[in-house]
Amino acid sequence: MQGRGQQHLRSRAVLFLLVSVMFFTPLSPMASLFASEAEAAIGTRHVYEFSDGSVEHIALYQGANPDMGASVSLPRGALVTDVSMTLSGASATGWSQLVADDRDHWIRGADNSIDDRSGDLTLAMDNISRNFLPHGNDAYVDVNSDAWLDNGSFALRQPHTSNATESLYSQQLTKTSSSFMAQSQGAILKHHDWLFLSTWSSSTFHNIVERLYPNNASRESVITLDKAACTLPQKHPSSYYGYYGFRDWTVTDDERLFGILSGYRYTYGSSAPVNYHRVMEMDISRDDTWTCIDSYDISPSVGEYTGIAYDRQTDQVWVAHNAMNRLYAYDFAGDGTGTYTRGQDFYTYTSATGSSWECGGSYGSGSKQMLRGLEVNGSTFYMRCQEDSPYNDRDQLEAWSVSGSSSALIPESTTRQLSRLGYGLQFDGERFVTVDCGYSTWSGATLYYREFGTGWTYETTPAPGTTTWYGEVVRSGEDILFSQRRDVLVGRFDRRPS
């Protein structure tokens, strides 16, 4: 009896064990709900291929059309923590950073860092830290690289094997375009291989700059100007004169623009009332959106200002104060407070009546001749100035140089007459560029975009090869939950005019 009872108990135990296994096995996926949280091991690094399954892609430039086939296929739900890309090959001018804003295979970010992946839920960062890392003169370049930093487009390019020199103010290129309208445009800028034209035909700030194709100056788009927390100048109350436009602007080596913004469209005036003008500091590292960093009223004690330039040799921004015929160097804080430091020393420029020069002169009963554009290189200032009365609808390019310890600049003999009034003078890394605006809307005069020689030697004919640029490192004392990085590298071919 006893042996039979023990055998019966063992049979019951085995049966109970089998039933338990059969009952709990389907519930095993729920174990994660009750298990304690544990730190996951470091995941395996995956190397994803191009969408066609290949591990490399050769970009081809054919028929003036860019190669759009380099797309990377990522599985749904993949967490991308790092992206590495190797570029090799050669083009006519080396790698450039021509920006492509349409990225079909990368999540479109937004300026306010929102997560737009869900149609029902929008997430935004609680704390946002912006790091602006430009391609400045002090950017770190690998010691093993022999590439050079091009101050014209802020791109790291391949070493060049030749150079060219064009005589001062020799006319190298003129273009006319339907984008040019009399009295409706300000300065023009060549940047990132695009032309950017300041219109003077909008009463709002955000849409006064057009992006033009460089080959024919036709309009590609209207870019967005983000005012941010900056203060704009007053706008003239008249419905005819009350428009925004940039009189002149300059780009520093860290992809920041300093421009003289005006709210008074009066192309043939002999003065520039200070309440309608401010110096705007803009981040122009993106080609579709320029963001204001700070704005400045620099008129106290020195009055109106009509020209601005950046000296690459001294890393200073110079401003022309037209009423006083003076040039001052400025150091702008760029911290959102509108503060600046004006140099104590200044240079003067004055033209006598009846002389061959126009800058610093007067016409009629003593009205000032307007300085309309400024550039500088070391000890020489380059100016676009109104020739005699504005009703003559002409400007003149002049060069004024420092002489010893004197504050009075000496004019050089080389000048160039321009057939129309215009605004701005900017060095694009190779040449001076400027644009006409005209005196009146009814004259029917043709307006031109113009390029002139500088007299300086510039590099040409890049050597093919591969080089590497290493950017700065960002360190944070707090946990980084999300990071959005925008780097674009595109091969470019120069299409230089014959």
Tell me phi and psi for residue 429, to 5 degrees: 105, -20
Q: At the topology level of CATH, where does 167-454 sit? A: Tachylectin-2; Chain A (2.115.10)
Residue range 403-444, pLDDT digits in tens: 999 999 999 999 999 999 999 999 998 999 999 998 876 667
SS3 260: strand
What is the model's pLDDT at position 429?
Answer: 87
- Paired strand residues for 362: 368
Contact between residue 274 and residue 303 where contact means Cβ atoms under 8 Å apart:
yes
DSSP-derived pairing of the beta strands 457-462 and 422-427 = unpaired
Residue 72 identity: V
CA–CA gap between residue 387 and residue 368 (Å, rounded): 11
Run of H or E including 256 = strand 256-262
Whether the pLDDT of residue 30 is over 70: the answer is: no
- C-alpha torsion 422→427→494→464, nearest 10: 180
Residue range 140-167, pLDDT digits in tens: 555 555 555 554 445 555 667 788 999 9
CA–CA gap between residue 140 and residue 471 (Å, rounded): 6
Q: Residue 267: name the closest of 491, 439, 13, 412 by CA.
A: 439
Ranked by mean pLDDT, the top range of 62-66, 278-282, 481-485 is 278-282
Region 183-199 average pLDDT = 92
CA–CA gap between residue 453 and residue 292 (Å, rounded): 31
What is the model's pLDDT at position 11?
Answer: 60
CA–CA gap between residue 436 and residue 267 (Å, rounded): 11
What is the model's pLDDT at position 465?
Answer: 52
Region 465-477 average pLDDT = 56
Q: For the residues of 153-180, what is the DSSP string, one character each?
A: TTEEEPPEEEEEE--TT-EEEEE--TT-
**Count of CA atoms in the C-beta half-sphere (13 A) of 144:** 4
What is the model's pLDDT at position 478?
Answer: 73
What is the model's pLDDT at position 391?
Answer: 87
What is the model's pLDDT at position 70?
Answer: 66
Q: Which tokens belong to 248?
A: 């002149």
Looking only at Cα atoms, what is the longest distance across the chain?
A: 139
Q: Which tokens belong to 462?
A: 């890049």
More confident residue, 305 or 2: 305
Contacts 24+ apart (CB under 8 A), 88-91: 88/466, 89/58, 89/59, 89/466, 89/491, 90/158, 90/464, 90/465, 90/466, 91/61, 91/464, 91/491, 91/492, 91/493
More confident residue, 66 or 264: 264
**Count of CA atoms in the C-beta half-sphere (13 A) of 379:** 11
CB atoms < 10 A from the CB of 40, how many? 6
Provide the CA 398 distance to its chain's centre, in angstroms.
28
What is the model's pLDDT at position 207?
Answer: 96
CA–CA gap between residue 456 and residue 164 (Å, rounded): 8
Contact between residue 99 and residue 93 where contact means Cβ atoms under 8 Å apart:
no
Q: Residue 96: name the closest of 497, 493, 490, 495 by CA.
A: 490
What is the model's pLDDT at position 103?
Answer: 37
Ranked by mean pLDDT, the top range of 100-104, 385-389, 410-414 is 410-414
Region 130-148 average pLDDT = 57
Least confident piece of the model among 170-174, 232-236, 329-333, 468-472: 468-472
What does pLDDT average to over the chain? Answer: 77
**How far is the CA of 123 from the CAs of 83, 126, 244, 341, 443, in angstroms?**
23, 9, 36, 41, 55
- C-alpha torsion 114→117→119→120, nearest 10: -70
Least confident piece of the model among 51-60, 238-247, 462-471: 462-471
Percent of the chain beyond pLDDT 70?
Answer: 61
Contact between residue 193 and residue 208 where contact means Cβ atoms under 8 Å apart:
no
CA–CA gap between residue 384 and residue 426 (Å, rounded): 10
Least confident piece of the model among 26-35, 291-300, 476-485: 26-35
Domain ranges of the chain: 167-454
Residue range 72-95, pLDDT digits in tens: 666 666 665 555 555 544 444 444
Residue range 282-308, pLDDT digits in tens: 999 888 999 999 999 999 999 999 999
CA–CA gap between residue 56 and residue 49 (Å, rounded): 8
Region 125-146 average pLDDT = 58
Residue that has been written with the tokens 């709990």 in this structure? 24
What is the model's pLDDT at position 460?
Answer: 81
Burial of 20 from C-beta contacts in 10 A (0-12 / 13-18 / 19+): exposed
CA–CA gap between residue 336 and residue 324 (Å, rounded): 28
Contact between residue 337 and residue 294 where contact means Cβ atoms under 8 Å apart:
yes
What is the model's pLDDT at position 184?
Answer: 87
Contact between residue 370 and residue 390 where contact means Cβ atoms under 8 Å apart:
yes
CA–CA gap between residue 245 and residue 424 (Å, rounded): 11
What is the model's pLDDT at position 354?
Answer: 86
What is the model's pLDDT at position 282?
Answer: 96
Q: Residue 290: name the closest of 208, 363, 348, 370 by CA.
A: 208
Residue range 179-190, pLDDT digits in tens: 898 888 999 999
Whether the pLDDT of residue 253 is over 60: the answer is: yes
Whether the pLDDT of residue 25 is over 90: the answer is: no
Whether the pLDDT of residue 255 is over 60: the answer is: yes
Least confident piece of the model among 42-56, 199-213, 386-400, 435-449: 42-56
